[in-house]
Amino acid sequence: MKYILVTGGVISGIGKGIIASSVGTILKSCGLRVTAIKIDPYINIDAGTFSPYEHGEVFVLDDGGEVDLDLGNYERFLDIRLTKDNNLTTGKIYQSVINKERRGDYLGKTVQVVPHITDAIQEWVMRQARVPVDDDGVEPQICVIELGGTVGDIESMPFIEAFRQFQFKVKRENFCNIHVSLVPQPSATGEQKTKPTQNSVRELRGLGLSPDLIMCRCSTPLENSVKEKISMFCHVEPEQVICVADVSSIYRVPLLLEDQGVVGYFCQRLDLPIETRPRKMLTKWKEMSDRSDRLLEQCSIALVGKYTKFTDSYASVIKALEHSALAISHKLEIKYIDSADLEPNTLTEEPVKYHEAWQKLCSADGILVPGGFGVRGTEGKIQAINWARKQKKPFLGVCLGMQLAVCEFARNMLGWEDANSTEFDPKSQHPVVIDMPEHNPGQMGGTMRLGKRRTIFKTTNSILRRLYGDVEYVDERHRHRFEVNPELKEHFEGKGFHFVGQDVEGERMEVIELDDHPYFVGVQYHPEFTSRPIKPSPPYFGLLLASAGKLQSYLHKGCHFKKALRTPIQKLN
| CATH number assigned to the domain comprising residue 262 | 3.40.50.300
299 in active site: no
Question: Does residue 174 share a domain with residue 85?
Answer: yes
Q: What is the spatial distance between Cα 181 and Cα 185, in angstroms, rounded to a whole number?
A: 13
- The total of other beta-carbon atoms located within 10 Å of residue 238's CB is 12
In-domain check, residue 565: no
What is the tens place of the pLDDT at every residue in 170-220?
A: 999 999 999 999 999 988 888 899 999 999 999 999 999 999 999 999 999
Pair 140, 133: CB distance under 8 Å: yes
In-domain check, residue 456: yes
Active-site residue identified among 55, 480, 498, 526: 526
**Residue range 42-70: mean pLDDT, rounded:** 88
Question: Does residue 270 share a domain with residue 326?
Answer: no
Q: Name the pLDDT band for 438 (thresholds 50, 70, 90).
A: low
DSSP classification of residue 222? P
Question: Which of 289, 309, 324 is the endpoint of a domain?
Answer: 289
Return the percentage of the chain with pLDDT > 70, whole number.
Answer: 94
Question: Does residue 399 share a domain with residue 278?
Answer: no
Pair 197, 181: CB distance under 8 Å: yes
Question: Does residue 468 share a domain with residue 366?
Answer: yes
Task: Output the pTM of the full model.
Answer: 0.90
**Paired sense of beta strands 175-182 and 34-40, if any:** unpaired
**Residue range 320-325: mean pLDDT, rounded:** 94
| pLDDT at res. 564 | 43
pLDDT at 388 over 80: yes
Question: Which of 237, 262, 289 is the endpoint of a domain?
Answer: 289
| pLDDT at res. 447 | 67
Return the percentage of the chain with pLDDT > 90, whole number.
Answer: 61
Contacts of 321 (CB under 8 A, 6+ apart): 301, 332, 334, 368, 540, 543, 544
In-domain check, residue 563: no
431 φ, ψ to 5°? -75, 90
Question: Does residue 310 share a domain with residue 219?
Answer: no
Q: Name the pLDDT band for 108 (thresholds 50, 70, 90).
A: confident
Distances (CA, A) of 573 to 60, 287, 291: 38, 11, 11
In-domain check, residue 307: yes
Question: Does residue 383 share a domain with residue 490?
Answer: yes
In-domain check, residue 490: yes
Question: Does residue 184 share a domain with residue 300?
Answer: no
**Residue range 452-458: mean pLDDT, rounded:** 92
| pLDDT at res. 566 | 44
Question: Does residue 220 share a domain with residue 150?
Answer: yes
**Residue of 20, 103, 24 lying closest to 69 (CA atoms):** 20
Question: Does residue 430 share a domain with residue 301?
Answer: yes
In-domain check, residue 497: yes
Question: Does residue 235 share a domain with residue 172?
Answer: yes
What is the tens place of the pLDDT at every residue in 308-318?
A: 888 889 999 99
**Residue range 467-480: mean pLDDT, rounded:** 92
Q: What is the spatial distance between Cα 428 and Cα 448, in angstroms, rounded to a whole number?
A: 23
What is the tens place of the pLDDT at every residue in 283-304?
A: 888 888 888 888 889 999 999 9
Active-site residue identified among 330, 399, 430, 478: 399
| pLDDT at res. 284 | 80
| pLDDT at res. 286 | 84
Q: What is the spatial distance between Cα 259 and Cα 301, in angstroms, rounded to a whole number?
A: 35
What total number of domains does the chain contain? 2
Question: Which of 246, 265, 289 is the endpoint of a domain?
Answer: 289
234 in active site: no
pLDDT at 558 over 80: no
**3-class secondary structure, 397:** strand
CATH (domain of 497) = 3.40.50.880
Question: Does residue 467 share a domain with residue 374?
Answer: yes
| pLDDT at res. 287 | 83
pLDDT at 568 over 70: no
In-domain check, residue 277: yes
Pair 478, 60: CB distance under 8 Å: yes
State which H helix or E strand residue 338 sits in: strand 331-338
432 φ, ψ to 5°? -80, -20
In-domain check, residue 380: yes
Domain containing residue 235: 2-289
Question: Does residue 306 share a domain with residue 262?
Answer: no
223 in active site: no
- Quote the mean pLDDT of the chain: 89
Q: Name the pLDDT band for 560 (thresholds 50, 70, 90).
A: low
